[in-house]
Amino acid sequence: MILRDALNRVINLLYEGQPTGHATSLKDYENLFPVIGVPAIAKSYQEDEVFAYTRVAGYNPVMIERVSSLGDRFPVTEEHYQAVMGTDDSLAAAGLEGRLYLADYKILSGVINGTYPHEQKYVYAPLALFALPKGSDATRLLRPVAIQCGQTPGPDYPIVTPNSGKYAWLFAKTVVQIADANIYEAVTHLARTHLLVGVFAIATARQLPLTHPLRILLRPHFDSTLAINNAAQQILIAPGGGVDRLLSPSIDNSRVLAVLGLQSYGFNSAILPRQFQQRGVDDPNLLPVYPYRDDALLVWDTIHQWVSDYLELYYPTDENIQKDIALQTWAAEISAYDGGRIRDFGEDGGIKTLNYLIDATTLIIFTASAQHAAVNFPQKDLMGYAAAIPLAGYLPASTLKREVTEQDYLNLLPPLDQAQRQYNLLSLLGSIYYNKLGEYEQGYFTDEKVKPLLQGFQSHLQQVENTIKQRNLHRPAYEYLLPSKIPQSINI
Ligand code: MN
C-alpha cells in the first residue's frame, strides 16, 4: 500500500507540466507524441471507410447484427439512405437483400455518467446503421449510413448522416466510438474474456484432480489469469483507478456493466459459429469482408480439432463422460448460483456427450487465447490515440440539436492530460506477449499418445499463420489472430 502510494506520487509528478485542458486543434493530440511518433490511426480515423472497417476488424469486432428493417426506434428514411448509397438503391431493398447492419449500444442506456477526476463525462447509447452496396463484388465494404445518438427518436436525438455537416457527422461517429469503447472494456474484454475464463480456472482447480485429462488440457490456458483479474479488481477497476479516470460511467456503473456483460452471456450460444449465425453475419456471400470472423473461425477449427483428438483418447463413448463424477461436479459448479453462475452451460444441467464437451472445451480455450488476443492487443495500436477512440465523451449528445462547430467536436474529445494517460495505460495493456498458443512446456503432456496429436495441432496452427499472412496481402492487415501473436492464456 505504501509502495503504491509512493509510486502514484511519482507518476503524478511525471504528468506535471504536461498539457491539460481541451484541445484547440487536433494538432494538440499529435503534439503529445514528440518522440515515439504519432500512431498511424491519427491519419485515417476520420474516413468513413475506416469507421466502418473498425466494426469488422477493430478492437470490438462483435457488435454488428444483420437486420431486415429498423422499426420505429431508429426512423431512417429512404431519403437519408439514398443520399449515402445512391438513388438506384433503397433502404427497403437493402433490408430484403441482407445488406443492412446495425450496431446497437442499448445496454448503455441509463448508465450513470462519471465525473472522475474533475470533469463531467458522458456515456451514450447510440444506434448506428451500416449498409453494403448492391452487387456481388467480394471486396464490398460496409458504409456508415446514419447514426442516432440515443435509443429514442425525436428532437433530442436527431438522425445524423454524412450529409449533416462535417462536424455533426464527426461528432456522431465519435459518440459511437465512445459507446463502443465503453462496451468493449467492460463487456467484450473484461467480462467476456477475463471474468468468463476466471470462472473455469477456479472450477477446474477445485473440482478436477491433478491427473484428470481435462485439467491437464486446460491448465496452461489459465496461467496468470486469476492474478491479472485480481489486479484489475484491486487497481484498474477500483475507485480512482484507470477505468474510473478514463472511461465514461461512474466507477460503480462500470463495474455493474461488467457484471451485466457476464450475466447476459449465454455460454452455449457463445459457441463461435453459433455466435456469428445469431448475429446474421456468418454468410460470406452476404457480408464478404469480415476479417475477425474469417480468422477467428480458422483458429476455432484448429483448436476444435486438437481438443477433439485429445478428448477422444480418454472418452471413447458418451457413457464415459456421463460416468465421470469429477467432470459432472465440475460442470455443476460452473453453473451453480453459489459457484460460477455461468448462464446456459451444459446439456440439461450436466455433460452428456463427447461432442458437447469438445465444443465447450474449445470455447474455453478459444476465449482464453484467441478471443482475448483479438480484443486485448488492439488497445495499443487502435485505441491508444484518444482523438480517434476516446474512452469518454465530454459533451452531451444533445449538442447535435444545434449546429456543431469544430470546437464542439474538440470539446467532446478527452482533455489532453486524459489523452496522455489513455495512451500510457492502453499501450501498456496492449504490449505484453507472454507465450504462444500451442507451445507447452517441454514434456508437459506425459501421455505418449498425445505427442503426435500435439504435433498435428502445432502444424495446423502454422498453416493458419500462413493463410492469415496470405489474406493480409489482399486487405488492410489484420494481425491480431495470427497464431504467433496469440498467447496461451490471459495474463494482461
Ligand atoms: Mn486483457
For residue 401, pLDDT over 70 is answered with: yes
CATH number of the domain that 289 lies in?
Answer: 1.20.245.10
What average pLDDT does the structure give for the chain?
A: 96
Ligand 1 centre to CA of 74 (Å) is 34
In a domain, 93, yes or no: no
pLDDT tens column, 95-148: 999 999 999 999 999 999 999 999 999 999 999 999 999 999 999 999 999 999
491 falls within a domain: no
Helix axes 416-429, 2-15, angle to 10 degrees: 130
Looking at the domain assignment, is residue 490 inside a domain?
A: no
40 occurs within a structural domain: yes
249 part of a folded domain? yes
Q: How far is the CA of 429 from the centre of ligand 1 (A)?
A: 7
**pLDDT digits over 18-36, tens only?**
888 999 999 999 999 988 8
Report yes or no on 19 lying in a domain. Answer: yes
DSSP state of 413: S
Provide the pLDDT confidence category of residue 9 given band limits of 50, 70 and 90.
Answer: confident
Q: In what order do the strands lie in the sheet with 65-66?
A: 65-66, 100-104, 127-131, 143-148, 159-160
pLDDT of residue 14 exceeding 80: no
Residue-wise pLDDT for 189-232, tens only, equals 999 999 999 999 999 999 999 999 999 999 999 999 999 999 99
Question: 192 in a domain, yes or no?
Answer: yes
- Residue 104, in any domain of the structure: no
User: What is the structure's pLDDT at 485?
Assistant: 98
Distance 491 CA to ligand 1 centre (A): 7
pLDDT of residue 216: 98
Q: How far is the CA of 376 from the centre of ligand 1 (A)?
A: 5
The helix-helix angle for 196-207 and 325-335 (nearest 10°) equals 140
210 φ, ψ to 5°? -55, -35
Position 126 scores a pLDDT of 98
> Cis omega before residue 61 (within 30°)?
no
**Residue-level pLDDT at 4:** 74
Which pLDDT score is estimated for 3? 72
Residue 147 Cα to ligand 1 midpoint, Å, equals 29
Q: In the predicted model, is pLDDT for residue 1 greater than 70?
A: no
Burial track 390-423 (b if 16+ CB lie within 10 A, e otherwise): bbbbbbbbebbeeebeeebbbbbbbbbbbbbbbb
Tell me the CA–centroid distance for residue 425 and ligand 1, in Å: 12
Cell 457488435 locates to: 63
CA 282-287-291 angle, to 5 degrees, is 80
Nine cell digits for residue 476? 488492410
Distance 83 CA to ligand 1 centre (A): 41
Number of H helices, E strands in the chain: 22, 5
Q: What pLDDT shows up at residue 10?
A: 75
Query: pLDDT tens across 470-488, in order?
Result: 999 999 999 999 999 999 9
| Domain membership of residue 408 as a residue range | 2-61+178-485
Cα-to-centroid distance, 20 and ligand 1 (Å): 28
Share of the chain above pLDDT 70, in %: 100
Number of domains present in the structure of the chain: 1
pLDDT over threshold 70, residue 291? yes
Bridge pairing between strands 143-148 and 65-66: unpaired
Q: What are the residues whose beta carbon lies below 5 Å from ligand 1 (ion)? A: 376
Q: Is the pLDDT of residue 17 over 90?
A: no
- For the question of whether the overall pTM of this predicted structure is more than 0.85, the answer is yes
Q: What is the mean pLDDT of residues 260-272?
A: 97
